[in-house]
């Protein structure tokens, strides 16, 4: 049985990825910055190389899926130093330990579509921006460049997945779709006035379901290469306004939409949509879950969570 290690397993994507891998025959271990009762989840800090080394020697994974990091653009503006330290230095430490002790491990690194600049076309993998739009984007550009350089000079088996917007039940309300969904369900349950606070509704984005994203991780686990990089996206463009309107219709509520300056990013890309042809050619991956199902599942998640809170 192959062994997989998921760093940041207790985050949004981690539990979905664990299930995906276990359903396909992997023994799955994970890491978290916090203590955990699960015997297969180890506490580690990516700034501590000795800790990383000890856990790798104990688990002896065949593949590492590196999800750990600071993944919020919004938070990166508030905590730029912490974003750089966590995302860049953390990855460097992991690479050093893998190279020194387990050079045959397959490494899959989570990156982001935020590395692309302002465009009015469907972006392919070589369309890298020369001007990053946030501290988070800078950290991911640095990661990508480092992975490509080190993988080829040190013969490491690595893949970078550039994840476009992905969402699903359980994602933090700091992200746009869960924020809308939670507010709408709060209104539906009578927990707040019928006002939805919004940021930039004119932005157009490419959204995928987290479960499709996890399939991409699994398919890439057996793909051998040195520093490859792939878009993981839907290839479809939709405005944030249209998503909000879909959610309002599904929630069956009447609301007033109110702009909240706190939800506006200092620098936001108006349009971002990706091309997944490269990963499709490599491992036959493509998105399969319709956006409507994703939105409905998110609304149901918040309905269950908020209704349970009401009963307590």
**pLDDT score of 102 more than 70:** yes
DSSP structure class, residue 202? S
190 domain-assigned: yes
- Are 120 and 180 in the same domain? no
Residue 131, number of CB atoms within 10 A of its CB? 8
Which whole number is the average pLDDT over 220-248? Answer: 95
User: In the chain, what is the straight-line distance between the N-terminal and C-terminal CA atoms, in Å?
Assistant: 43
Which whole number is the average pLDDT over 127-156? Answer: 83
Which whole number is the average pLDDT over 108-122? Answer: 85
Q: For the CA atoms of the chain, what is the radius of gyration?
A: 20
- Are 26 and 135 in the same domain? yes
- Are 246 and 259 in the same domain? yes
280 domain-assigned: no
Return the structure tokens found at 164.
Answer: 């476009």
- Are 101 and 188 in the same domain? no
H/E stretch holding 66 reads strand 63-66
Split into its structural domains, the chain has a count of 2
Query: CATH number for the domain including 61?
Result: 3.40.50.720
- Are 259 and 195 in the same domain? yes
Residues contacting 128, CB < 8 A, separation 6+: 115, 116, 141, 144
19 domain-assigned: yes
278 domain-assigned: no
pLDDT for 260 equals 80
**pLDDT score of 50 more than 60:** yes
The rounded distance, in Å, linking the Cα atoms of 159 and 108 is: 5
Query: CATH number for the domain including 254?
Result: 3.90.25.10
- Are 199 and 210 in the same domain? no
- Are 211 and 199 in the same domain? no
Phi and psi at 154, nearest 5°, equal -120, 10
**pLDDT confidence of 172, banded at 50, 70, 90?**
very high
The rounded distance, in Å, linking the Cα atoms of 217 and 67 is: 11
277 domain-assigned: no
284 domain-assigned: no
Please report the DSSP string for 209-229 in residue order.
Answer: EHHHHHHHHHHHTT---EEEE
Question: From start to end of 121-216, where are the E strands?
Answer: 158-163, 166-167, 195-198, 204-205, 208-209
Residue 216, number of CB atoms within 10 A of its CB? 26
- Quote the percentage of the chain above a pLDDT of 90: 65
160 domain-assigned: yes
Question: What does the mean pLDDT of the chain come to?
Answer: 91
**pLDDT confidence of 268, banded at 50, 70, 90?**
low
Cβ-contact 51, 7 below 8 angstroms: no
- Are 159 and 260 in the same domain? no
- Are 18 and 156 in the same domain? yes
Q: What is the pLDDT of residues 6-30, one digit of tens each?
A: 999 999 999 999 999 999 999 999 9
Which among 217, 232, 247 is the end of a domain? 232
**pLDDT confidence of 264, banded at 50, 70, 90?**
low
- Are 123 and 113 in the same domain? yes
Q: What share of the chain is helix, strand, coil (3-state, %, to 5)?
A: 45, 20, 35
More confident site: 311 or 282: 282
- Are 124 and 185 in the same domain? no
pLDDT for 265 equals 59
pLDDT for 133 equals 80
- Are 222 and 111 in the same domain? yes
**pLDDT score of 215 more than 70:** yes
pLDDT for 272 equals 86
Cβ-contact 277, 286 below 8 angstroms: no
**pLDDT confidence of 71, banded at 50, 70, 90?**
confident
Which among 184, 215, 232 is the end of a domain? 232
Between vectors from CA 259 to CA 258 and to CA 264, what angle results, nearest 5°?
A: 155
Residue 288, number of CB atoms within 10 A of its CB? 11
Residue 301 domain boundaries: 176-204+236-268+290-311
274 domain-assigned: no
């Amino acid at each position: 049985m192959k062994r997989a290690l998921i760093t940041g397993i207790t985050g949004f994507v981690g539990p979905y990825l664990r299930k995906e891998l276990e359903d396909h025959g992997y023994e799955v271990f994970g890491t978290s910055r916090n203590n955990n009762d699960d015997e297969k989840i180890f506490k580690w800090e990516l700034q501590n190389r000795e800790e990383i080394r000890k856990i790798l020697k104990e688990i002896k994974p065949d593949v590492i899926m590196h999800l750990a990091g600071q993944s919020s653009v919004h938070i990166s503006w508030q905590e730029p130093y912490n974003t750089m330290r966590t995302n860049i230095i953390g990855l460097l430490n992991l690479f050093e330990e893998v190279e020194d002790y387990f050079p045959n491990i397959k490494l899959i690194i989570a990156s982001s579509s935020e590395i692309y600049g302002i465009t009015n076309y469907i972006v392919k993998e070589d369309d890298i921006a020369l001007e990053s739009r946030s501290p988070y984007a800078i950290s991911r550009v640095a990661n990508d460049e480092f992975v490509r350089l080190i993988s080829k000079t040190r013969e490491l088996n690595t893949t970078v997945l550039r994840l476009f917007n992905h969402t699903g039940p359980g994602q933090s309300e700091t992200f746009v779709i869960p924020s809308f969904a939670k507010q709408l369900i709060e209104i539906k349950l009578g927990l707040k006035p019928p006002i939805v606070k919004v940021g930039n509704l004119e932005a157009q984005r490419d959204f995928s379901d987290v479960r499709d994203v996890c399939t991409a991780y699994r398919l890439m686990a057996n793909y051998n290469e040195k520093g490859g990089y792939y878009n993981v996206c839907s290839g479809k463009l939709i405005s944030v306004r249209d998503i909000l309107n879909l959610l309002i219709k599904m929630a069956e509520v009447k609301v007033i939409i109110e702009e909240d300056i706190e939800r506006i990013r200092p620098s936001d890309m108006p349009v971002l949509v990706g091309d997944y042809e490269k990963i499709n050619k490599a491992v036959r991956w493509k998105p399969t879950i319709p956006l409507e199902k994703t939105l409905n599942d998110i609304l149901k998640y918040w309905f269950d969570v908020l209704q349970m809170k009401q009963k307590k």
